[in-house]
């Protein structure tokens, strides 16, 4: 078996496992999918999941196969990217901590009611995901760390890992909604507010880390 084939297989199963783990803490779109499953049936709940994952797919593809490629070809742009991302991510996390903002399904539901999208589960999941700023910076963080480690393995394994990770997320959320359809309850729904608070502090710390790394890259550039 060739070395490339082994790397591709490894990218496949590690990507699936990573996606399953990432999807386990239920976010706003996941909570909404469970709510729709309980109220309107399993198929409509899965449509919410598919809508949310479509938003994730767009984020992941744009960041990993566009933005990061552009950044790595220009050192000045790379420094600006890390510094600006650090400031923006820190601001979002700090604002969430100070304002006690929790991105829950109830908060997002007000937006959906105004747009009259409750009858369109796919669009509901997509709007919840795409309108949540934490979603974009979550993927920016994951892309700059976990996913980026596969870039050196080649473009194909890199792509396989990315798609497998999103597939793993779907598998995880499919199982959650299937259990919800069977009448199972999830304690994670009760603690979504606490998780959002922890996430806010985590986002703030990541923002500081990004900014410090940007300063390090700037120092390295000036030193050269």
pLDDT value of position 196:
56
How does pLDDT run across 80-113, given as a tens digit for each residue? 777 877 777 677 667 767 765 544 445 544 544 4
Q: Where do the structural domains in the chain lie, given as residue ranges?
A: 28-151+186-223
What's residue 171's pLDDT? 92
Its pTM stands at: 0.65
Res 146 pLDDT > 70: yes
Phi, psi of 40 (to 5 degrees): -125, -5
Give the confidence band of 47 by pLDDT, cuts at 50, 70, 90.
Answer: very high
- Residues of the chain with pLDDT > 90, as a percent, come to 9
Contact at 8 Å (CB) between 92 and 207? yes
pLDDT at 198 (0 to 100): 65
Q: What's the mean per-residue pLDDT of the chain?
A: 75
Q: What is the pLDDT of residue 167?
A: 93
**Per-residue pLDDT band at 190 (split at 50, 70, 90):** very low
Phi-psi region of 34 (alpha: psi -120 to 50; beta: other; left: phi over 0): alpha
Q: Indicate whether 188 pLDDT > 90.
A: no
Contact 196, 103 (CB under 8 A): yes
Whether the per-residue pLDDT at 174 is higher than 70: the answer is yes
Supply the pLDDT for residue 125.
83
pLDDT digits (tens, 9 = 90+) for 117-137: 455 888 888 887 776 666 777
């Amino acid at each position: 078996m060739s070395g490339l084939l082994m790397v591709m297989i490894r990218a496949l199963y590690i990507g699936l496992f990573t996606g399953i783990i990432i999807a386990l803490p239920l976010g706003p779109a996941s909570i909404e999918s469970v709510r729709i499953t309980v109220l309107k049936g399993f198929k409509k709940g899965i449509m919410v999941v598919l809508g949310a994952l479509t938003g994730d797919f767009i984020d992941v593809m744009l960041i990993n196969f566009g933005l990061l490629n552009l950044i790595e070809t220009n050192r000045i742009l790379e420094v600006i990217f890390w510094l600006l991302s650090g400031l923006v991510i820190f601001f979002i996390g700090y604002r969430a901590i100070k304002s006690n903002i929790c991105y829950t399904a109830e908060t997002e539901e007000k937006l959906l009611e105004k747009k009259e999208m409750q009858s369109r589960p796919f669009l509901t999941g997509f709007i919840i995901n795409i309108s949540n700023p934490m979603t974009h910076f979550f993927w920016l963080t994951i892309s700059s760390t976990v996913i980026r480690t596969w870039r050196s393995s080649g473009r194909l394994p890199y792509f396989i890992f990315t798609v497998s990770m999103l597939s793993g997320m779907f598998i995880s959320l499919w199982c959650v909604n299937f259990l919800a359809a069977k009448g199972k309850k999830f304690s994670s729904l009760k603690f979504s507010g606490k998780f959002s608070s922890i996430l806010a502090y985590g986002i703030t710390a990541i923002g500081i880390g990004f900014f410090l790394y940007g300063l390090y890259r700037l120092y390295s550039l000036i030193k050269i």
